[in-house]
């Protein structure tokens, strides 16, 4: 991703080398320029500060108060909200639930999305250059469908699919002779509610990431595949040794975005399990926060939960970065060079034959 930007940067600045990164400041501050800056920078930044940045900052302060919203009085209570939260079994359960979501949803979604993307781009006929599979655009369009459907509707559709009596899931399973699933309440049993929820989130998100990875895979230089082919690698080997390392940074970015989505999951749980699921087994922090804030009016406590959610998100992102680094990822200069060298060597080797 990064090197592509640099390529286009240098390409655009080639005609005017001095122009890179903005024009040299040679003009005086005219009326035109002042109004221009005020409108172009001032307006967007003001909206961002008022509606995004300031609320975030306020949240951190309110998290340390016992404010209940509609009266102006509040006491500063330090970390009491956090202490209270971590003594609250329901909140701890919610924390555990979102940890499960963050652990499984990105992993499963990305595995499936990568599978779909690789199948579409590399599954073509094995003679000649690596080509896409037959019907590639059909598969691409279909797998993107769920992303176009609003998440709330995805939840509602699957709430009906999981219906114990009239749902299609039990209909198919009992139709296959699995009578145990007749009237099985997927969302009503503690053992299945969470996996069922995870499946729905995965269903809704795979398509988007598959399309993202298709684009990334198409950006992999063709000579890398040529080189691998000349070295006698089959499609499996190419996927593991060429494709995956090449799109590694896209995967990292996707992992973080998916983690943020999974830690939230509010829309899906509100649509399918608004009450928190059997024995709170699918209650999320976001749901708990929403109820504590807007039903119980404990705004201080609610914002404190928001702070915990933000911290969990940051820890998750840091973990993804760390894992990618430790396993040899991250676009270091050495790696890029090595990759380029490998490609050149491969081409040279091919030329010699």
Partner 1 sequence: MSVIAADRKQARDQKRASDQKLTKAVAGSDRRFAVIAHGLLILWSVIVILPMLWVLVSSFKTTKEILSSPFALPKHWQFDNYSRAWSDASIGKYFLNSVIVVVCALVLVMLLGAMCAYVLARFQFPGRRLIYYVMLAGLTFPVFLAIVPLFFQLQNFGLLNTRPGLILTYVAFALPFTMFFLYAFFRSLPHDVYEAALIDGAGDWRAFFQVMLPMARPGMAAVAIFNFLGLWNQFLLPVALNTDQDKWVLTQGMAAYASSQAYGIDYGALFAAIVVTVVPVLIVYVIFQRRIAGSVSQGTFR
The residue range among 24-32, 71-79, 176-184, 319-327 that interacts with partner 1, by the rule CB under 8 A, is 24-32
Q: What residue spans of the chain are helical by DSSP H?
A: 2-13, 31-37, 43-48, 54-62, 80-86, 89-122, 136-148, 151-161, 168-175, 190-218, 222-230, 235-238, 244-246, 248-264, 266-272, 285-294, 299-326, 333-352
- Applying CB under 8 A, the site for partner 1 has a residue count of 132
Q: What is the CA radius of gyration of the chain?
A: 26
Instruction: With CA atoms as reference, report the closest residue to 85 among 345, 321, 288.
Output: 288
Choices 27-35, 100-108, 189-197, 322-330 (CB under 8 A): range interacting with partner 1: 27-35
Q: How many CB atoms lie within 10 A of CB 194?
A: 20
Nearest approach, Cβ of residue 63 and partner 1 (Å): 9
Report the distance separating Cα 110 and Cα 93, nearest Å. 26
Residues 228-247 that bind partner 1 (CB under 8 A): 229-230, 232-236
Instruction: Confirm or reject binding of residue 77 to partner 1 (CB under 8 A).
Output: no
Q: Which of residues 282-311 bind partner 1 (CB under 8 A)?
A: 285-286, 289-290, 293-294, 299, 302-303, 306-307, 309-310
Binding range to partner 1, per CB under 8 A, among 2-10, 83-91, 189-197, 330-338? 2-10
Stretch that binds partner 1, among 71-79, 188-196, 256-264, 336-344 (CB under 8 A): 256-264
> In angstroms, rounded to a whole number, what is the distance separating the alpha carbons of residues 209 and 247?
12
Among 94, 140, 181, 184, binds partner 1 (CB under 8 A): 140
Which member of 91, 181, 184, 203 binds partner 1 (CB under 8 A)? Answer: 203
The reply on whether position 151 binds partner 1 by CB under 8 A is yes
Helix/strand/coil for 76: strand
Does position 23 bind partner 1 by CB under 8 A?
A: yes
Task: Return the residue of 78, 274, 330, 340 that touches partner 1, per CB under 8 A.
Answer: 274
In the chain, the N- to C-terminal Cα span, in Å, equals 33
Q: Is residue 72 a contact residue for partner 1 (CB under 8 A)?
A: no
Residue from 72, 73, 89, 127 touching partner 1 (CB under 8 A): that is 127
Instruction: Based on the shown chain and the rule CB under 8 A, indicate whether residue 26 belongs to the binding site for partner 1.
Output: no
Per CB under 8 A, 327 contacts partner 1: no
Residue 116 binds partner 1 (CB under 8 A): yes
Q: How far is the CB of 167 from partner 1 (least distance, A)?
A: 6
- 15 by DSSP, 3-state: which? coil
Asked whether position 264 contacts partner 1 by CB under 8 A, the answer is yes
Segment contacting partner 1 (CB under 8 A): 151-159, 187-195, 325-333, 337-345? 151-159
φ/ψ of residue 7, rounded to 5: -60, -50
Q: Is the dihedral of CA 220, 225, 228, 232 positive or negative?
A: positive
Choice between 151 and 283, CB closer to partner 1: 151
Q: With binding defined as CB under 8 A, does residue 28 bind partner 1? A: no
What b-and-e string marks burial along 204-223, b requiring 16 or more CB atoms within 10 Å of the CB?
Answer: bbbbbbbbbbbebbeebeee
Contact 148, 265 (CB under 8 A): no
Q: Which of 277, 279, 276, 311 is nearest to 290 (CA)?
A: 276
Write down the least CB distance from residue 196 to partner 1, Å.
13
Does the protein bind partner 1 through residue 111 (CB under 8 A)? no
Strand partners, 65: 76
Q: Which of residues 166-185 bind partner 1 (CB under 8 A)?
A: 166-168, 170-171, 175
Q: Is residue 41 at the binding interface for partner 1, with CB under 8 A as the rule?
A: yes
């Amino acid at each position: 991703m990064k090197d592509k930007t640099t390529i286009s940067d240098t390409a655009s600045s080639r005609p005017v080398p001095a122009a890179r990164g903005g024009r040299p400041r040679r003009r005086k501050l005219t009326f035109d320029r002042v109004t221009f800056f005020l409108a172009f920078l001032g307006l967007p930044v003001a909206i961002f500060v008022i509606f995004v940045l300031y609320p975030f900052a306020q949240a951190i302060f309110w998290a340390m108060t016992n404010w209940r919203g509609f009266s102006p009085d509040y006491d500063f209570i330090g970390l009491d909200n956090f202490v209270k939260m971590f003594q609250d079994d329901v909140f701890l359960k919610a924390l555990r639930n979102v940890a499960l979501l963050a652990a499984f949803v990105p992993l499963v979604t990305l595995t499936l999305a990568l599978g779909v993307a690789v199948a579409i781009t590399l599954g073509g006929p094995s003679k000649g250059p690596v080509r896409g599979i037959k019907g590639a655009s059909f598969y691409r369009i279909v797998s993107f469908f769920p992303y176009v459907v609003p998440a709330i509707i995805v939840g509602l559709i699957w709430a009906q699919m999981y219906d114990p009596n009239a749902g299609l899931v039990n209909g198919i399973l009992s139709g296959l002779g699995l009578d145990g699933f007749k009237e099985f309440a997927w969302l009503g049993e503690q053992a299945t509610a969470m996996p069922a929820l995870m499946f729905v989130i995965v269903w809704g998100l795979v398509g988007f990431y598959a399309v993202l990875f298709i684009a990334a895979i198409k950006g992999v230089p063709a000579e890398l595949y040529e080189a691998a082919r000349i070295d006698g690698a089959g499609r499996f080997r190419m996927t593991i040794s060429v494709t995956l390392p090449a799109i590694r940074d896209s995967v990292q970015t996707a992992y973080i975005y998916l983690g943020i989505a999974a830690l939230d999951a509010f829309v899906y749980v509100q649509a399918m399990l608004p009450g928190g699921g059997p024995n709170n087994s699918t209650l999320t922090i976001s749901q708990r926060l929403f109820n504590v804030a807007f039903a119980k009016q404990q705004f201080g406590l609610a914002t404190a939960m928001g702070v915990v959610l933000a911290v969990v998100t940051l820890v998750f992102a840091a973990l993804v970065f760390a894992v990618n680094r430790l396993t040899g990822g991250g676009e270091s200069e050495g790696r890029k060079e090595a990759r380029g060298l490998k490609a050149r060597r491969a081409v040279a080797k091919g030329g010699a034959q």
